[in-house]
């Protein structure tokens, strides 16, 4: 009788294959990530309303903040009301905080259960309204930790302590240097360290996917991980096929004859010389039988060996649980073989002993498990090798679900904040972002002007194209702040500001009437989001020089003033710009002593452009889409010390006006 395979080794082998293959995947795809130290929770919470006295703000981070960390609390009028900070005692968090790390182009989670508080003292609450808390630190893994949260105070105003003055200090230079040095690491907070949320001010523009490899990256971890996965898959499949399709024992090969399982009728026995019929027809005595009702279900029934011409013949065994008939003598016999089975001598390993088949099955299982272990080690090694030299993509990554609503887009920065991030979390923005617009080419695109000079006082059509890597003019642009492209013109002395909106011809040539009254040098910025061939939105700010010939007398930059007069309007700027830290800038427009009735302009109630003196860097600024306490609010993160010129555009009765300010962070 033929011995049927046992289901137990097959089940064990299958489970081992599944467990080991899963372990390979986990070890390959999840190299360890360092602690990130982001904000877990705060008191008051983000967006909370407070109606009682408040003397401090507690910010709980997932690790202790740096000793030189920097914190500010800004009141509704833009002035600071913080009065120093200190470390608090750690405490368990009410809910574990999950942070996400960008590893090999995808987010890996990690949970934290302990909060490390930074306690920021509040000197007083000058008025009801929205207060903002900003912070800057460096985590233990070297990454900058920066962010802003807001809460609303509805109680009574409180007086400032006697002799107290609003702080004007800037962050420690070593803190700024550390944040700038590690600003391109690509780790983004998955916690609540976000800038205040605001609805998008225009058509959403998707930032480049962080998982997409850099165009110039021919290697990295990606191909190594794929090789590892292919290797593991091949080994697992080969092992499973080897296990499922292993060769039959020699006695059952197709090119050899074999004995058939005997029935009570003794079909095979009838052909043997001297053989009887049924059970009695078997040669030799000492048959091992399973008596009916003996409880031997599942145990094999093995027929004894017979000899034919001096050659031993061993029949295959069958489980007693197989359908069987019981003869008159009480001996259980198996059902006959299927049609086509033949009788004949058996040679090979199966004729060694009845237990030989079991030993061979265990050997194959051992080989399968060994192969999977080797695949596990190989995959682990490849995953580690790949993660060791990975360069993280610098595009804005897609944040995990559950973040705060996305930030509004600014035509001044050319990109959008994804959910859960704000002005403080752009990977690649060292110290909250080097100013843009200082290069004529970036991201594979080049600003190509058709005119580089024009006479003073003459109005000419300024024409240009955006040339892609294929040396063709780009023609697909996303609408950001109601326009597909914003053109900003500023003199090298930070005078002569203009904000224009050109139109594009079918061949990709942009044009707009431009008049420049004074001779001298100018910087022209093109702020846009172009749609690449694969559909990806590429937000860019490119800049190019433009010259008006003639004698040039540079204009001296005016000193900083909190107010500007534009026609019948008085415009006040409130706030404390801070290097490397996101700070609110508040603008209020008054006409004849009363608030002016502002109209929406470019998707918001105002537009702000900030340009740095010296290199004419174009600074990222993010607007609130709606009025806050009756004022227009922007979030500004100054990238460095120095002097800046701010241009605030607003619209009343269909006319656009511009108020100009000097910001001195030297």
Per-residue pLDDT tens for 601-616? 999 999 999 999 999 9
User: Are residue 125 and residue 170 in the same domain, yes or no?
Assistant: yes
The Cα 507–Cα 539 span in angstroms is: 21
pTM as predicted: 0.60
Q: With 90 as the cut, is the pLDDT of residue 148 above it? A: yes
Q: What is the DSSP string of 357-370?
A: HHHHHHHHHHHHHH
Q: Which residue has the higher pLDDT, 340 or 377?
A: 377
DSSP single-letter state for residue 239: H
The Cα 626–Cα 91 span in angstroms is: 37
Q: How far is CA 93 from CA 19, 148, 268, 281, in A?
A: 34, 20, 78, 81
Asked if 623 contacts 604 with a C-beta cutoff of 8 angstroms, the reply is: yes
User: Are residue 40 and residue 168 in the same domain, yes or no?
Assistant: yes
pLDDT band at 31; cut points 50, 70, 90: very low
Q: For residue 392, give the nearest of 107, 179, 140, 193 by alpha carbon.
A: 107
**Which of 136-145, 213-222, 607-616 has maximum average pLDDT?**
607-616
Domain-located, residue 470: yes
User: Are residue 99 and residue 148 in the same domain, yes or no?
Assistant: yes
User: What would the pLDDT profile of 354-406 be if each residue is shown by its tens digit?
Assistant: 444 444 456 666 666 666 666 666 655 554 444 333 333 333 333 333 333 33
Tracing tokens 């002993």 back to the chain, one arrives at 353
Domain-located, residue 130: yes
User: Are residue 499 and residue 589 in the same domain, yes or no?
Assistant: no
Q: For residue 601, give the nearest of 405, 407, 410 by alpha carbon.
A: 410
The Cα 200–Cα 653 span in angstroms is: 24
E-state strands within 210-331: 300-301, 306-308, 311-313, 318-319, 324-326
Domain-located, residue 203: no
User: Are residue 177 and residue 46 in the same domain, yes or no?
Assistant: yes
Domain-located, residue 518: yes
User: Are residue 524 and residue 567 in the same domain, yes or no?
Assistant: no
User: Are residue 522 and residue 587 in the same domain, yes or no?
Assistant: no
Q: Would you state the pLDDT for residue 105?
A: 78
Domain-located, residue 644: yes
* CATH number of the domain to which 501 belongs: 2.60.40.1930
Domain-located, residue 47: yes
Overall size of the chain counted in residues: 666
The Cα 422–Cα 393 span in angstroms is: 18
The 3-state DSSP class for residue 604 equals strand
Mean pLDDT score across all residues of the chain: 72
User: Are residue 44 and residue 174 in the same domain, yes or no?
Assistant: yes
Q: Of 246-250, 627-631, 638-642, which gets the smallest average pLDDT?
A: 246-250
**Which of 247-251, 272-276, 479-483, 565-569 has maximum average pLDDT?**
565-569
Domain boundary among 491, 525, 548: 548
User: Are residue 483 and residue 453 in the same domain, yes or no?
Assistant: yes
User: Are residue 604 and residue 520 in the same domain, yes or no?
Assistant: no
User: Are residue 510 and residue 572 in the same domain, yes or no?
Assistant: no
Buried b (16+ CB within 10 A) or exposed e, 351-374: beebebbeeebeeebeebbebbee
Q: Of 132-146, 377-391, 428-442, 613-627, which gets the smallest average pLDDT?
A: 377-391
User: Are residue 52 and residue 163 in the same domain, yes or no?
Assistant: yes
The Cα 155–Cα 203 span in angstroms is: 37
Asked if 405 contacts 412 with a C-beta cutoff of 8 angstroms, the reply is: no
Q: Would you state the pLDDT for residue 534?
A: 87
**The domain containing residue 649 runs over which residues?**
563-664
Tracing tokens 């995808």 back to the chain, one arrives at 106
Domain-located, residue 633: yes
Q: With 50 as the cut, is the pLDDT of residue 103 above it? A: yes
The 3-state DSSP class for residue 528 equals strand
Question: What's the first-to-final CA gap in the chain, in angstroms?
Answer: 96
Q: Residue range 636-664: average pLDDT?
A: 96
* CATH number of the domain to which 175 belongs: 2.60.40.1220
The Cα 125–Cα 549 span in angstroms is: 54
Domain total in the chain = 4
Domain boundary among 517, 548, 579: 548
Torsion of CA 439, 440, 442, 444, to 10 degrees: -160
- Continuous segment of H or E residues that includes residue 244: helix 221-244
The Cα 337–Cα 333 span in angstroms is: 12
Q: Residue range 193-214: average pLDDT?
A: 38
Q: Which residue has the higher pLDDT, 189 or 659?
A: 659
Domain boundary among 514, 548, 582: 548
* CATH number of the domain to which 644 belongs: 2.60.40.10
The Cα 573–Cα 389 span in angstroms is: 47
Domain-located, residue 642: yes
């Amino acid at each position: 009788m033929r011995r049927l395979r046992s289901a137990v080794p097959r089940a064990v082998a299958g489970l081992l294959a599944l467990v080991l293959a899963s372990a390979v995947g986990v070890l390959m795809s999840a190299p360890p990530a360092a602690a990130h130290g982001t904000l877990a929770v705060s008191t008051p919470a983000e967006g909370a309303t407070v109606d009682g006295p408040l003397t401090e703000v507690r910010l709980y981070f997932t690790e202790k903040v740096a000793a030189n960390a920097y914190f500010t609390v800004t009141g509704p009028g833009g002035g600071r009301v913080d009065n120093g900070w200190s470390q608090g005692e750690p405490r368990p968090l009410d809910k574990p905080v999950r942070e996400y790390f960008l590893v090999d182009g995808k987010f890996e989670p990690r949970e934290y259960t302990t909060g490390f508080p930074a306690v920021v003292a509040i000197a007083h609450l000058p008025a009801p309204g929205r207060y903002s808390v900003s912070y800057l630190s460096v985590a233990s893994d070297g990454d900058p930790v920066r962010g802003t949260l807001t809460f609303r105070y509805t109680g009574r105003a409180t007086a400032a302590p006697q002799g107290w003055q609003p702080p004007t200090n800037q962050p420690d230079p070593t803190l700024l240097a550390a944040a700038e040095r590690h600003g391109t690491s690509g780790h983004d907070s998955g916690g609540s360290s976000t800038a205040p949320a605001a609805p998008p001010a225009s058509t959403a523009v998707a930032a480049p996917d962080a998982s997409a490899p850099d165009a110039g990256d021919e290697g990295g971890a990606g191909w190594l991980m794929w090789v590892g996965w292919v290797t593991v898959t091949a080994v697992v499949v080969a092992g499973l096929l080897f296990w499922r399709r292993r060769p039959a024992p020699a006695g059952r090969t197709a090119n050899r004859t074999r004995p058939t399982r005997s029935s009570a009728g003794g079909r095979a026995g009838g052909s043997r010389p001297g053989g009887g019929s049924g059970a009695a027809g078997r040669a030799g005595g000492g048959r091992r039988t399973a008596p009916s009702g003996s409880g031997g279900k599942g145990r094999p029934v093995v027929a004894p060996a017979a000899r034919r011409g001096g050659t031993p013949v061993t029949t295959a065994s069958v489980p007693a649980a197989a359908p069987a008939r019981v003869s008159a003598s009480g001996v259980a016999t198996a059902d006959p073989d299927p049609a086509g089975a033949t009788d004949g001598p058996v040679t090979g390993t199966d004729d060694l002993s009845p237990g030989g088949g079991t030993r061979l099955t265990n050997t194959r299982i051992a080989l399968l498990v060994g192969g999977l272990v080797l695949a596990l080690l190989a995959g682990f090694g490849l995953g580690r090798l790949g993660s060791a030299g990975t360069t993280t993509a610098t595009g804005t990554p897609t944040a995990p679900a559950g973040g705060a609503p996305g930030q509004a887009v600014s035509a001044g920065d050319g990109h959008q904040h994804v959910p859960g991030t704000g002005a403080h979390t752009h990977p690649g923005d060292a110290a909250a972002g080097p100013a843009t617009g200082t290069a004529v080419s970036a991201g594979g695109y080049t600003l190509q002007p058709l005119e580089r000079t024009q006479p003073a006082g003459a109005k000419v059509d300024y024409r240009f194209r955006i040339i892609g890597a294929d040396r063709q003019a780009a023609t697909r642009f996303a609408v950001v702040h109601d326009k597909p492209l914003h053109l900003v013109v500023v003199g090298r002395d930070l005078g002569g500001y203009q904000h224009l909106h050109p139109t594009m011809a079918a061949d990709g040539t942009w044009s707009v009437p431009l008049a420049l009254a004074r001779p001298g040098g100018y910087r022209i910025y093109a702020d846009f989001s172009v749609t690449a061939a694969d559909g990806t939105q590429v937000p860019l700010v490119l800049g190019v020089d433009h010259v008006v010939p003639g004698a040039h007398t540079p204009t001296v930059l005016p000193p900083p003033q909190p107010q500007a007069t534009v026609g019948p309007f008085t415009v006040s700027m409130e706030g404390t710009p801070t290097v490397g830290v996101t700070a609110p800038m508040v603008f209020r427009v008054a006409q004849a002593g009363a608030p002016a009735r502002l109209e929406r302009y470019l998707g918001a109630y105002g537009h702000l452009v900030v340009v740095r003196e010296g290199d004419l860097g174009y600074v990222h600024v993010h607007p609130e889409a709606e009025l806050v306490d009756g004022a227009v609010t922007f979030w500004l993160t100054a990238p460095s010390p120095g002097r800046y010129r701010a241009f605030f555009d607003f619209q009343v009765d269909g006319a656009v006006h511009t108020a100009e300010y000097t910001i001195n962070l030297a």
